[in-house]
């Protein structure tokens, strides 16, 4: 998490410090929940069908993936662009106290599989709130963002039965009010002509945006599937929920992009010249930098 050097003191409302790995997947501390609890259908992302609660055929007894290094070539692209944002280890080690789904009571196993997607949604929300409260431009609402983070974080630690009964859409709606405001503040500070472009939820599939000035643009929830963003300036653009599958980000500048996640990058195409925020990793399937 980034530090705000302009903060002179830490008020009592400041949220707890978040370890760097807490909102990132730690498969070694999980029991392969995403490989069992979630369903998928034969498509461009998966070569076969799998029902919810059915272990993936590639899942080993030690909860590792038997084809992890070859997922893309074997047709499991969907697995390479998935991130639980740390929900897997939270459910495995906190909610269920380290109890594996294998060999336990069937009722507990079913409950674990129901809890996992709930906590995953909450952890994704925490990831956005964590980024928002670190934005220098969001300083006017930092205390509110901190309180919301604490509220959602506390929900992730509820007992399993309370988690499955949680009204997640209502939780997301409450947090979204603050995330929208944080995005507005950050985009206003970004500069560039793009900040006047409101493309929320826009259908930009296959759009030709090569070299476009999209600094500070609102691309929240936009469909950018297979869009040509070669050399585009996306500094300070808001990308929460944007669909970047197969979008060409070659030589694009994404430094300072707001609410951009690793799964979004992993689903896109990029090149050696693509500039990324320091908090995100260059996808392995992108050409290596020289």
Q: What is the pLDDT of residues 199-254, one digit of tens each?
A: 999 999 999 999 999 999 999 999 999 999 999 999 999 999 999 999 999 999 99
Bridge partners of residue 267, in order along the sequence: none
Contact 182/141 with Cβ under 8 angstroms?
yes
Give the N- to C-terminal CA distance of the chain in Å, as an integer. 28
Q: Name the domain boundary from 187, 215, 233.
A: 187
| Model pLDDT, residue 17 | 57
Residues 64 and 158 placed together within one structural domain of the fold = yes
CA distance 97 to 112: 11
Residues 214 and 290 placed together within one structural domain of the fold = yes
- % of the chain at pLDDT higher than 70: 90
Local structure of 208: helix, strand or coil: strand
Residues 211 and 87 placed together within one structural domain of the fold = no
Residues 151 and 134 placed together within one structural domain of the fold = yes
Tens digits of residue pLDDT in 60-70: 999 999 999 99
Alpha-carbon distances of 182 from 127, 128, 135, rounded to whole Å: 14, 10, 8
Residues spanned by the domain of 270:
192-290
Contact 273/286 with Cβ under 8 angstroms?
no
Contact 114/91 with Cβ under 8 angstroms?
no
Residues 219 and 259 placed together within one structural domain of the fold = yes
Q: What is the 8-class DSSP label of residue 54?
A: S
Contact 205/225 with Cβ under 8 angstroms?
yes
């Amino acid at each position: 998490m980034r530090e705000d050097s302009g903060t002179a003191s830490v008020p009592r409302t400041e949220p707890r410090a978040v370890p760097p790995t807490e909102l990132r997947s730690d498969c070694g501390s999980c029991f392969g929940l995403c490989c069992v609890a979630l369903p998928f259908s034969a498509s461009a992302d998966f070569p076969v069908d799998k029902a919810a609660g059915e272990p993936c055929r590639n899942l080993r007894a030690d909860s590792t993936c038997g084809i992890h290094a070859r997922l893309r070539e074997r047709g499991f692209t969907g697995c390479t662009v998935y991130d639980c944002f740390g929900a897997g280890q939270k459910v495995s080690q906190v909610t269920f106290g380290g109890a594996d789904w294998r060999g336990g009571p069937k009722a507990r196993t079913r409950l674990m599989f129901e809890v996992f997607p709930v906590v995953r949604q909450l952890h994704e929300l925490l990831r956005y709130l964590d980024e928002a409260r670190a934005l220098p431009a969001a300083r006017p609402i930092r205390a509110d963002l901190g309180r919301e983070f604490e509220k959602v974080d506390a929900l992730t630690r509820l007992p399993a039965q309370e988690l499955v009964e949680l009204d997640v859409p209502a939780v997301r709606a409450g947090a979204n009010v603050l995330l929208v405001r944080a995005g507005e503040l950050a985009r206003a500070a970004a500069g560039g002509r793009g900040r006047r472009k409101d493309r929320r939820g826009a259908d930009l599939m296959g759009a030709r945006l090569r070299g476009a000035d999209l600094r500070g643009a609102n691309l929240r929830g936009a469909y950018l599937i297979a869009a040509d963003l070669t050399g585009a300036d996306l500094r300070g653009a808001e990308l929460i929920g944007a669909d970047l599958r197969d979008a060409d980000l070659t030589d694009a500048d994404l430094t300072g992009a707001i609410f951009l996640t690793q799964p979004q990058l992993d689903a896109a195409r990029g090149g050696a010249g693509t500039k990324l925020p320091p908090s995100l990793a260059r996808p392995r399937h992108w050409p290596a930098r020289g």
